[in-house]
Homo-oligomer: A and B are copies of this chain.
Amino acid sequence: MEISPFVVVSDAPGAVFPKGFLASGVSCDVRGQGHTNRLDMAVIYSQKPCVSASVYTRNAIVAAPVKWCREVRASGKPVHAIVANSGNANACTGPQGIEDNRAMARQIGEALQIDEGAVFVASTGRIGRVLPMNRIRGGIEVAVSQLGTEPAHGLAAADAILTSDTRRKVVGVEVRTNEGIIRIGGMAKGAGMIEPGMATMLAFITTDAKIAPERLQRLLQSSVDASFNAITVDGDMSTNDTVIVLANGASGVVVEDALETEFVAALNYVCERLARKIVGDGEKITKVVELRIAGAKSDAEAEKVARAVGNSLLVKSSWFGGDPNWGRILDAAGYSGAEIVEEQLTMAYRADDNAPPVLAFADSTGCDENLAQWKEIVARKEFIIELDLGLGEGAARLWASDLTEGYVNFNKAE
């Protein structure tokens, strides 16, 4: 019997789940629409200093908060807090944006009596608009005053970072060790602009593990590659993508080589769950398709195929329509830039891991006799497509959403 190295706590309230973390989520009408009951300002805080790890967008144009966070990370100093607003990305806002961002960190620092350089800042929303600093300042003041460790505090923080998301995204796990329990909590927002390789989103993860920052950074990078970087809604990657982990050591349990395996499994789970929640809540999507590419010349080639298929408008439109149009999938694989030999290629639909693969293409031709089965599978809300290039050992996995009329309608104007 296999023993799970960690336990999922289904009602864990995100960031406040580990020991020593406080959070709050309040409303300050960042959008300027008079939606005074819509939460849009979140703070996460640990009185104990935290080591941190973080990963950012690879977009060449990054928002002011991303520039700030990179400096915080580069300083190597202990961190105490994250402040995040939704409704405005503070991107492409020039020197004013830099100054406003710093003002957010400074205000948190003064209110919590910590250095401004101990505060990560994140913003998400429309690009190109200056922050409404009067309302932001008011929001931060209230958010600090409402910090707490109750589940409601964690859930309010999780709600405050949502934009076009339709559902809150939180997760929590426990690693039960002989030295005590480590907890990891996570909250995220996604929805639009979700792209593999960047997974345009915010995710804040807290843990009470005691761990060295270099180790934490290495583990986070690997977790992110297998989770947030393996989802796609629309192929766009944002100016603001940010994943931050804060570790305050409050559990007293030290993660070194000894406990690394267990901690990694738990961290991977947290990242993968948040990523799945993001793609499953993509803007107006109706389906999530898991693409499994195998037999490529290399993992990088397999990933090219996965992204070409997962981002093809024609493929995504046909998923929306429940049409098993495998020709479009092969077409996208063909233009991915990866080496493909039509005669070596096989493709199969699969309802889930427990169901057998149903061949769609093999020996250079379609397996039309399986049409009825394909239709049943692609009618599901989730299914798997397996493509084996038959050329090598390279593999990749990508979760992709469909493309709906609702997506276009939703995004045609903000």
A92 touches which of B127, B330, B405, B408 (Cβ 8 Å): B330
Inter-chain contact B335/A237, CB cutoff 8 Å? yes
Number of copies: 2
A331 touches which of B58, B193, B366, B409 (Cβ 8 Å): B193
Chain B nearest CB, measured from A224 CB (Å)? 17
Cα distance, A234 to B364, chains bound together (Å)? 26
Residue with the highest number of chain B CB atoms closer than 10 Å, among A311, A331, A340 = A331
Inter-chain contact A127/B327, CB cutoff 8 Å? yes
Determine the residue in chain B with the shortest Cβ distance to A333: B61
Inter-chain contact B60/A338, CB cutoff 8 Å? yes
Residues in B neighbouring A59, C-beta threshold 8 A: 331, 334-335
Main secondary structure of the interface of A (DSSP, over half): loop
Determine the residue in chain B with the shortest Cβ distance to A67: B342
Inter-chain contact A96/B365, CB cutoff 8 Å? yes
Stretch binding the partner chain, chosen from A48-56, A110-118, A318-326: A318-326
Inter-chain contact A365/B94, CB cutoff 8 Å? yes
Determine the residue in chain B with the shortest Cβ distance to A126: B327
Does A129 touch B at the CB level, under 8 Å? Answer: yes
Cα distance, A96 to B363, chains bound together (Å)? 11
Determine the residue in chain B with the shortest Cβ distance to A197: B335
Q: A408-B320, A408-B405 are in contact. Are A334 and B413 (CB under 8 A)?
A: no
Q: A313-B403, A340-B60 are in contact. Are A238 and B413 (CB under 8 A)?
A: no
Inter-chain contact B334/A60, CB cutoff 8 Å? yes
Residues in B neighbouring A322, C-beta threshold 8 A: 412-413
Does A206 touch B at the CB level, under 8 Å? Answer: no
Q: Which residues 16-66 of A have a CB within 8 angstroms of B?
A: 57-62
A residues engaging B (CB < 8 A)?
Answer: 57-62, 89, 91-97, 126-129, 192-193, 195, 198, 234-239, 311-314, 317-318, 320-323, 325-328, 330-336, 338-342, 345, 361, 363-366, 403-405, 407-414
Please name 20 further chain A to chain B contacts, defined as beta carbons within 8 Å, in addition to the given A128-B326, A236-B332, sorted by A numbering: A59-B331, A60-B340, A61-B330, A61-B331, A61-B340, A61-B342, A62-B342, A92-B342, A93-B366, A127-B327, A127-B330, A128-B361, A129-B366, A193-B331, A313-B403, A318-B413, A321-B411, A322-B412, A407-B408, A408-B408
